[in-house]
Amino acid sequence: MQLLRKLVFPLSLIYAFIVYLRNFLYDHKILGGKSFATKTICVGNLSVGGTGKTPMIEFLISNLMDSKKIAVLSRGYGRKSKGFILAGPQVKVEELGDEPYQISTKFPKISVAVDVDRQHGIVALENAVAPDVILLDDAFQHRKVRCEHYILLTAYGQLYVDDWYLPTGNLRDSKGEAKRANIIVVTKCPRNISDAEQKDICVKLKPKSRQKVLFSYLEYDTALKGGPMQLTLEELKNKKITLVTGIADPSPLVNYLLESGLELEHLSYSDHHFFSKKEIDIFSKKELILTTEKDFVRLSGKIEQLYFVGIKHVFLGNGKEVLMGDLV
């Protein structure tokens, strides 16, 4: 794989030029973005997948929903539908996509919608539900919309400043576009990351004077959810566990489960993978299937012994207060 990425380096140069040209046209207002009356908050990244966008969206919902009427707008990656769709009791996961469906199920009092055309989606949400705030999921590159706030995520150990353009690297946007962020969050940090290392990372990121750099780690639930019984990770130590993941970077979860003393068979699939009947038949023969919450919404009702591990962002220091103070 590494050799292949080196061989396609010329393609990455072409991709980099296209990205540069597109951003140049927007920066110089040759191509135009549109602002909206409704407050918009964008959560995104510069690389492909694996930075924790959905847990961050859920963090924002949890901390804003008591005081604001919240809507979430996503493109609905991997969905088997087109156009604008507003989540509701009759809408299936295949129509919304796994992440929007997960959010709508977990937070039934907010509005969740999908639309590839974010401008059209915002107008549709304004007309349908008139929210106070619209959270745009994975929209950092969607420059047709000018948001009030931009939250840029970058994963610890995979910082965008150390990356290169697709297909040689994982960057889908220019490193320089980090300048548009109000806040940069370094996600998936070790819980015990030192102040010195945080300072070193800030030096590498070179934030603008107006930008804040925050640090967070992923916290996993010890109580499992979704299955027919109440189980904890401790109770799984003597069981045959099969972990099924269809996410961009399952390594933090795998490492956490191994550190918790579990022995795993890990069946890994591509991000947003919709499982076939043959795959589900294989899973059904396993003693117990453990998965992520995003994968659970695609497997729920198809496997009896199916559980997921809940996850959330936890900010280091006063990061939560800084983030929410910037948004409110």
Task: Classify residue 81: in a domain, yes or no.
Answer: no
Q: Are residues 304 and 238 in the same domain?
A: yes
Domain extent, residue 15, equals 2-68+132-218+316-327
CA-wise closest residue to 41 among 182, 178, 148: 148
Task: Classify residue 296: in a domain, yes or no.
Answer: yes
Note the pLDDT of residue 91: 95
Task: Classify residue 123: in a domain, yes or no.
Answer: no
Note the pLDDT of residue 272: 87
CA dihedral in degrees (118, 124, 128, 130; nearest 10)?
60
- Is 47 annotated to bind a ligand? Reply is yes
Q: Are residues 162 and 238 in the same domain?
A: no
Task: Classify residue 320: in a domain, yes or no.
Answer: yes
pTM exceeding 0.85: yes
Q: Are residues 55 and 154 in the same domain?
A: yes
Q: Are residues 64 and 136 in the same domain?
A: yes
- Is 52 annotated to bind a ligand? Reply is yes
Q: What is the pLDDT of residues 286-304, one digit of tens each?
A: 999 999 999 999 999 999 9
Task: Classify residue 127: in a domain, yes or no.
Answer: no
CATH number at residue 284: 3.40.50
* C-alpha dist (Å) from residue 325 to 64, 128, 183, 280, 320: 11, 29, 11, 45, 8
Q: Are residues 212 and 284 in the same domain?
A: no
Note the pLDDT of residue 2: 67
Q: Are residues 289 and 320 in the same domain?
A: no
- Is 49 annotated to bind a ligand? Reply is yes
Note the pLDDT of residue 238: 84
Q: Are residues 6 and 58 in the same domain?
A: yes
Task: Classify residue 103: in a domain, yes or no.
Answer: no
Q: Are residues 279 and 197 in the same domain?
A: no
- Is 48 annotated to bind a ligand? Reply is yes
- Is 226 annotated to bind a ligand? Reply is no
Q: Are residues 147 and 259 in the same domain?
A: no
Phi/psi for 178 (5° steps) reads -60, -20
| Sheet containing 111-114, strands listed edge to edge, beginning at the edge strand earlier in sequence | 85-86, 111-114, 70-74, 133-137, 39-45, 149-155, 183-187, 212-220, 311-315
CA-wise closest residue to 13 among 135, 171, 159, 139: 171
Q: Which amino acid, one-letter code, is at 179?
A: K
- Is 222 annotated to bind a ligand? Reply is no
Parts of the chain with a pLDDT under 50 = none
Task: Classify residue 77: in a domain, yes or no.
Answer: no
Q: What's the number of domains the chain is made of?
A: 2
Note the pLDDT of residue 203: 97
Task: Classify residue 109: in a domain, yes or no.
Answer: no
Q: Are residues 258 and 144 in the same domain?
A: no
CA-wise closest residue to 218 among 263, 253, 254, 259: 253
- Is 50 annotated to bind a ligand? Reply is yes
Note the pLDDT of residue 150: 98
Q: What is the pLDDT of residues 163-216, one digit of tens each?
A: 999 999 999 999 999 999 999 999 999 999 999 999 999 999 999 999 999 999
- Is 129 annotated to bind a ligand? Reply is no
Q: Are residues 164 and 283 in the same domain?
A: no
Q: Are residues 240 and 205 in the same domain?
A: no
